[in-house]
């Protein structure tokens, strides 16, 4: 995860990335923290992205899968 920018997370492009940065989610690890707060529940994470950021199903799914796969590999 390191110091990757939020734009480097799967499913997060420029528009969603800018919204996330304005909310304080400037790095991928900050988004990972939100994923962990939601107890690594991909469905809850997708819903959070949809409700708070305006992500569509594909974007939310891609980001949730990215976070889940990282957790499975490193936690």
| Largest Cα span, the chain | 30
Q: What pLDDT does 48 receive?
A: 96
The domain ranges of the chain are 6-74
State what percent of residues in the chain have pLDDT above 70: 100
Q: What is the DSSP letter of 74?
A: H
Q: What pLDDT does 1 receive?
A: 86
Q: Write down the architecture of domain 6-74 according to CATH.
A: Orthogonal Bundle (1.10)
pLDDT tens, residue by residue, 13-34:
999 999 999 999 999 999 999 9
Q: What pLDDT does 39 receive?
A: 98
pLDDT above 90 (res 70): yes
């Amino acid at each position: 995860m390191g110091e990757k920018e939020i734009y480097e997370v799967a499913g997060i492009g420029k528009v969603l990335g800018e919204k996330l940065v304005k909310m304080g989610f400037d790095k991928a690890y900050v988004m990972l923290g939100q994923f962990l707060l939601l107890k690594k529940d991909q469905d809850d994470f997708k819903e959070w992205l949809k409700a708070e950021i305006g992500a569509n199903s594909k974007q939310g799914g891609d980001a949730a899968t990215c976070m889940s796969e990282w957790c499975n590999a490193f936690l």
